[in-house]
Amino acid sequence: MTPFQVQILSADHPFYCGECESLEVPTLDGQYGILAGHSNMIAAVVPGMLHFRVPNEEKEQIAAVSHGLIKIENGEVLILIDSAERPEEIDINRARREADAAKEAIQQKRTIQEYRSAQAMLARAINRLQVKEHYQSWNK
């Protein structure tokens, strides 16, 4: 496969910058696949599992990502997201506690802003759990 340049930048650190052979990003329309030579575009990224393959590496890499955007221009990919975590960085017990706290906050029925914030927190926690569980089953 022909490699292309990718920058995956989270709010607090560069997650990955370098060559990539394939990339799959969670978008509003589902998982979106990208290879070298992709046409220019901009799309929203939603919480989910990001997959990418680095040249000369046997295994595909995965990450739990949050909201953001992806821009492809002149064969280069830029992904700007609030957060990105490798599965080995995810504390499954903490993610479960966050999911439980978010569910409790949703049931409290406070302001619409608090409700939406709790929904976002729940989506992030569930996504982190799914990525961690996928990683664990993949590496057995």
Mean pLDDT, rounded, for 35-51: 94
Q: What is the band of 19 on the pLDDT scale with cuts at 50, 70, 90?
A: very high
Q: Domain 4-85 maps to which CATH number in 1.20.1530.20, 2.60.15.10, 1.20.1050.10, 2.40.160.60?
A: 2.60.15.10
What stretch(es) of the chain map to CATH 1.20.5? 91-138
The predicted pLDDT at position 139 comes to 65
Q: Calculate the alpha carbon distances from 23 to 62, 70, 72 in Å.
A: 10, 11, 12
For the domain made up of 91-138, give the CATH fold. 1.20.5
The continuous run of DSSP H or E covering 55 comes out as none
Indicate whether 70 pLDDT > 90: yes
Within 8 A by CB and 6+ apart from 52, the residues are 6, 8, 16, 20, 22, 23, 24, 60, 61
What stretch(es) of the chain map to CATH 2.60.15.10? 4-85
Indicate whether 137 pLDDT > 80: no
**For residues 7 and 133, what is the distance between their CA atoms, to the nearest angstrom?**
26
**For residues 18 and 43, what is the distance between their CA atoms, to the nearest angstrom?**
21
Indicate whether 8 pLDDT > 90: yes
Q: What is the band of 140 on the pLDDT scale with cuts at 50, 70, 90?
A: low
Q: Is the pTM of this model over 0.75?
A: yes
